[in-house]
Structure 1
Amino acid sequence: MDQSFLIMLSNLLHLQNQLDPTTSLLSDSSSASSSSSSPSSLLTSTSAAPLLFFTIASVLSFISTSRKPRPRSPSSPSPPPSPQFSVAAFRALSTERIWAMEPHLRDSQWRSLYGLSYPVFTTVVEKLKPYIAQSNLSLPSDYAVAMVLSRLSLGLSAKTVANRYSLEPYLVSKITNMVTRLLSTKLYPEFIKIPAGRRRLHETTASFAELTALPNICGAIDNTHVRLHSLPSNLRNSNIYKNSHGFHSVQLQVVSDHKKIFWDVCVKAPGGVDDITHFRDSLLYNRLVSGDIVWEKVVNVKGHAVRPYIVGDWCYPLLSFLLTPFSWNRTGNPAQNTFDEGLMKGRKVVEEAIGLLKGRWRILQDMNVGLSHAPQTIVACCVLHNLCQIAREPEPEVWKEPEESGAVPRLLESEKSYYYFGESLRQVLADDLYQRLSSR
């Protein structure tokens, strides 16, 4: 029995004895004959009845107040978030404790949670805050961005994040879609730009020349598959999303500069479409073919005017603005093999950029968002990747891509003039490079 109940009962009995002393003699008179009892004595003994009722009422009141609480019904509101992921804990970490830490420890902790350092995180929040404010979101802007970044960085599902933050999964999906849409639209023009300006173009071509010994390279192009966690029921039996590696995916085409910063991103094709079709459907291809992109920098090589060009592997067609290797297994002459070695050094930059992208934003290793929101999520991760590269964030472990294979793409009739010019240009660059290296 509860100790506080015993104390209360003892006090009540003590009070009864003080108010009605005759009750203390009841035990002593129990041996007396019942015939000796008088009406007056019975009246005296019944004077304790009100106190007895008071005692019983007190006992019942104590029992009712000491009951265990009833279990929460399913319709009751969800419990507050766990302290580790609550808004209050986030506020304390980001406004008080964070600045008391050593910078390297602070940024390391922030990267482990959200994929980037605290200063870069605040940059993202400040750029998105005006747009998030217009949505009348019930959560603080920085808390919503942090929640989405943790999902992108750690590759978490909406259900896992919902359990962690004590929110409904539909709300986590809604916030994820909003933040990734803002990243892929509002921040894209600022952080993914073609190097058309004189200063940036000269810096890019000079850095590629130092790396490859080839003049006027302005970028490297490649394609990668982003695995889909699941497909809608009406598409599960279709092969349109199944790629050559045997899993369902959507395609991401990127062009990278020497700093592994993407200056063009395209997500248009399902995994079952080949790389060259995806390339020809891209806005970049159409702008290059139409002459919409004009690079002013021109280099003279053996009497040939060489404008800036991008480099790719043998899965792409040889064009005047896109140079590819002579062969994939070094079967050319010495000049051609030397050119291929230099070109593949430049192309390696984009391979590493893709590996960093998937290593830093692990949701791209297994895309667990709805198919309709996959493209904007992929582009949002590319924007965040560029932010990290510009800020010189530490590079994570590179994600290893499966080996690519495929035949040389068929040339279109409309591409033949670009092919012949590219073929001539490639040979001139190969002869010039071999001559320069041989004379050293």
Structure 2
Amino acid sequence: MVNDDTELDESTALLLFALVEFVSSCMESQRMMRQQRRLRYLRYAEEQRELGEIMFLLHTSLDVTTVRRLNKETFKYVVEELRPYIEKSSNNNGPTFSAEWRVAMTLYRLSSGIPFNQTANQFGCAKSTACTVYHEVCEAIESVLMPKFIVFPTGQELQKNIEKFKMKGGFPQVVGAIDGTHIAIIAPREQAQDYYNRKEYYSIVLQGVVDANGLFIDTFCGMPGSVNDARVFSISNFGESLKTGNLFQPNIEEDVNGVQVPPLILGDGAYPLLNNLMRPFPNRLNKQREQSRFNYKLSQCRVVVEHAFGRLKGRWRILLKRNEHETQKLRPVVQACCTLHNICTSNGVPYQHAWTDDEVNASLSCQPARVNQIVEGPRAEQIRSAIIAELMKVD
């Protein structure tokens, strides 16, 4: 019996040893397979990065609808800034699309305005994937890049704006120009009438404030199209900050013909006349020469915001389409376009005047705005009168 037990123990030990060897071999095999898979994923990710750059260059060099909206250096900068927020790790089904691919696909849709199904076909993915990635990237641009590039000027930058605007025609103390533009949408399911604007289509409003270089320094987007510019202004944080005097840092006043003139924002006739906000006189046949002079010089400065809207929609043509997004998802798209406008302008990415075509001009054209009758008080009138006297000195 002892011998039998000994033989049994030896057989069991050999069996266990063989089992351990087998398990170890399987684990090693699995480890090597995982390692090889990771290497394949890394190679795939690198290929995707290269593919993203290739597709970006292809769609921005050859396609007439998207030619050179962004140069390669700016594209790489945007990718690296957004990579931690948009790049997904691999999963059990394999690696996901790279940050380069995601940004390239989003930029292609923003610049061309083509539908999701065509975008998906161009970039070899499902329509649902294209839609998800597009919104994720736009939201990342809004949350990560927008605070860096849409900034109201302070200190020396504020003073530089005042000097540059004054060089445009002698208008003193101007920091920026304000206006609104409509972004077309498909009629929403609820309260559609609120979004039907005076141009007789459905839209949301983008309010933009632009500096002397054509950069957006404040944006407010999402109000229904039926809301007029003055109402949008009064609702916005920018309008509230302007009224309370907390906007300009520093809030340095300049003596103009004996009147202390604060930093100013210029608007059209739809805006109220405030201490810090100048608007033109109404267009009347019996308008005085001084009022015409004031309107002309104000228009010379304020036209910068109209040009900015034209370049914004010319470069990012998604803003010319009747966007099928839900209204709450459209705001990040518009803000992303404004941010990319500033990035391109700051980096000297060329804008082709051919992009400002009939479609862009039609989007910018508007019916005469209702003249705003609001005047903040006698100080606002005094400031305007002092500026008129100053402008009459300039030939």
Verify: 1:277 aligned to 2:231, yes or no. yes
For residue 124 of structure 1, give the secondary structure of its aligned residue in structure 2: helix
Q: 1:343 to 1:164 in 2, by over 3 A?
A: same
Q: 1:389 to 1:302 in 2, by over 3 A?
A: same
Cα deviation for residue 203 of structure 1 reads 1.4
Q: 1:389 to 1:331 in 2, by over 3 A?
A: farther
Equivalent residue for 2:197?
243
Equivalent residue for 2:174?
217
Q: 1:310 to 1:292 in 2, by over 3 A?
A: same
Cα deviation for residue 108 of structure 1 reads 4.5
Q: 1:435 to 1:113 in 2, by over 3 A?
A: closer
Verify: 1:344 aligned to 2:344, yes or no. no
- Counterparts of 1:71-90 in structure 2 under 5 Å? 88=47
Verify: 1:163 aligned to 2:126, yes or no. no
Equivalent residue for 2:277?
322
Q: 1:365 to 1:187 in 2, by over 3 A?
A: same
Partners of 2:277 and 2:173 in 1: CA distance? 12
Q: 1:94 to 1:163 in 2, by over 3 A?
A: closer
Q: Note if contact 2:60-2:70 (Cα within 8 Å) is conserved in structure 1.
A: yes
Partners of 2:189 and 2:52 in 1: CA distance? 43
Q: Which of 94, 99, 102 is 2:53 aligned to?
A: 94
Q: Note if contact 1:226-1:249 (Cα within 8 Å) is conserved in structure 2.
A: yes
- Counterparts of 1:350-429 in structure 2 under 5 Å? 350-366=305-321, 367-396=323-352, 397-398=355-356, 399-400=360-361, 401-411=364-374, 418-429=376-387
User: Which is bigger in relative contact order (C-alpha 8 A, separation at least 6)?
Assistant: 2
Q: 1:232 to 1:181 in 2, by over 3 A?
A: same
Partners of 1:139 and 1:161 in 2: CA distance? 15
Q: Report which stretch shifted further, 314-323 or 292-301.
A: 292-301
Q: Report which stretch shifted further, 303-312 or 354-363.
A: 303-312
Equivalent residue for 1:263?
217
- Counterparts of 1:278-317 in structure 2 under 5 Å? 278-296=232-250, 297-317=252-272
Equivalent residue for 1:148?
106
Q: Note if contact 1:108-1:117 (Cα within 8 Å) is conserved in structure 2.
A: no
Cα deviation for residue 233 of structure 1 reads 3.5
Letter in 1 for 2:213: K
For residue 222 of structure 2, give the secondary structure of its aligned residue in structure 1: coil
Letter in 2 for 1:286: E
Q: What TM-score, normalized to structure 1?
A: 0.71
Cα deviation for residue 124 of structure 1 reads 0.6
Cα deviation for residue 95 of structure 1 reads 7.2
Aligned residues: 337
Q: Report which stretch shifted further, 372-381 or 400-409.
A: 400-409
Q: What TM-score, normalized to structure 2?
A: 0.79
Alpha-carbon RMSD: 2.6
Partners of 2:349 and 2:234 in 1: CA distance? 33
- Counterparts of 1:23-172 in structure 2 under 5 Å? 88=47, 91=50, 94=53, 108=61, 112=66, 115-133=69-87, 138-172=96-130
| Structure 2 unaligned spans of 5+ | 1-44
| Structure 1 unaligned spans of 5+ | 1-85, 99-104
Percent of aligned positions with the same letter in both sequences?
29
Cα deviation for residue 311 of structure 1 reads 0.4
Q: Which of 205, 226, 229 is 2:162 aligned to?
A: 205
Equivalent residue for 2:137?
179
Q: Note if contact 2:60-2:69 (Cα within 8 Å) is conserved in structure 1.
A: no
Partners of 2:56 and 2:79 in 1: CA distance? 19
Q: Note if contact 2:52-2:101 (Cα within 8 Å) is conserved in structure 1.
A: no
Q: Note if contact 2:52-2:100 (Cα within 8 Å) is conserved in structure 1.
A: no
Query: Cα deviations across residues 256-297 of structure 1 (Å, max 9, x unaligned)?
Result: 111110000001311111111111110101111222223323
Partners of 1:335 and 1:356 in 2: CA distance? 32
